[in-house]
């Protein structure tokens, strides 16, 4: 309990410092929830199992959350993400860099009711635009579900995979 109180006080102090510097900040309750190490299991849309470890930590004077994702064998996906608030738009943004030399930018309206939806539009030469999104849903103080989906129209979404994580 003492550790949680200290973490909360640090997050509140760091958030106040960030707001004073930029006028915009990461939501304190979101930061407090995600910071730390997580482990999870789930499945791809085809039913194949997936497992991963995650870590979230504050960086760059608390302006960004660094989020590391490492799939467990036999899967090989690894990603480094940075979550922060875009100074010009005020949107929560996510920059993802992965071990397959990929890089993507997602944006969100923010952390609302224990949910964070990060979406991106991807120009397509034939169909115009396709979409990707990650949905992070708080299930309890110690667990959340992450769902990855794709869409061709921004309305009908198809599951890529999902994992349910618990704090370690």
Per DSSP, 72 falls in state: P
Measure the CA–CA gap between 94 and 108, rounded to whole angstroms: 8
Measure the CA–CA gap between 50 and 107, rounded to whole angstroms: 25
According to the model, what pLDDT value does residue 128 have?
Answer: 86
Per DSSP, 88 falls in state: T
Per DSSP, 128 falls in state: E
According to the model, what pLDDT value does residue 24 have?
Answer: 78
According to the model, what pLDDT value does residue 135 have?
Answer: 98
According to the model, what pLDDT value does residue 11 have?
Answer: 46
pLDDT > 70 fraction of the chain, expressed in percent and rounded: 86
Q: Which tokens belong to 103?
A: 């890089």
What's the pLDDT tens digit per position in 113-130? 999 999 999 988 887 899
DSSP E strand stretches across the chain: 36-44, 49-59, 64-71, 78-85, 92-98, 103-108, 111-112, 115-124, 128-140, 143-151, 157-167
> Is 147 a residue whose pLDDT tops 70?
yes
Confidence of residue 23 (pLDDT cuts 50, 70, 90): low
The domains located in the chain, with CATH, are 2-167 (2.40.128.20)
Geometric angle at alpha carbon 107, from 103 and 109, rounded to 5°: 165
What contacts 24+ positions apart, CB below 8 Å, involve 83-86?
Answer: 83/26, 84/26, 85/22, 85/24, 85/25, 85/26, 86/24
According to the model, what pLDDT value does residue 2 have?
Answer: 52
Ramachandran angles phi, psi of 17, nearest 5°: -65, -45
Confidence of residue 20 (pLDDT cuts 50, 70, 90): very low
Ramachandran angles phi, psi of 28, nearest 5°: -55, -45
């Amino acid at each position: 309990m003492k550790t949680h109180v200290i973490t909360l006080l640090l997050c509140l102090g760091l958030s106040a410092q960030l707001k004073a510097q930029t006028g915009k900040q990461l939501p304190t309750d979101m930061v407090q929830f995600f910071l730390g190490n997580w482990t999870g299991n789930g499945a791809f849309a085809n039913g194949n199992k997936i497992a991963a470890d995650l870590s979230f930590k504050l960086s760059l004077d608390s302006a960004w959350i660094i989020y590391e994702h490492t799939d467990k064998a036999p899967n090989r996906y690894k990603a480094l993400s940075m979550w922060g608030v875009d100074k010009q738009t005020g949107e929560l943004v996510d920059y993802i860099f992965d071990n397959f030399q990929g890089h993507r930018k997602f944006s969100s309206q923010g952390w609302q009711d224990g949910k964070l939806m990060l979406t991106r539009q991807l120009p397509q030469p034939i169909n115009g635009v396709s979409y990707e999104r990650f949905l992070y849903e708080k299930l309890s103080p110690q667990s959340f579900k992450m769902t990855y989906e794709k869409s061709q129209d921004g309305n009908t979404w198809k599951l890529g995979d999902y994992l349910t994580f618990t704090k370690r």
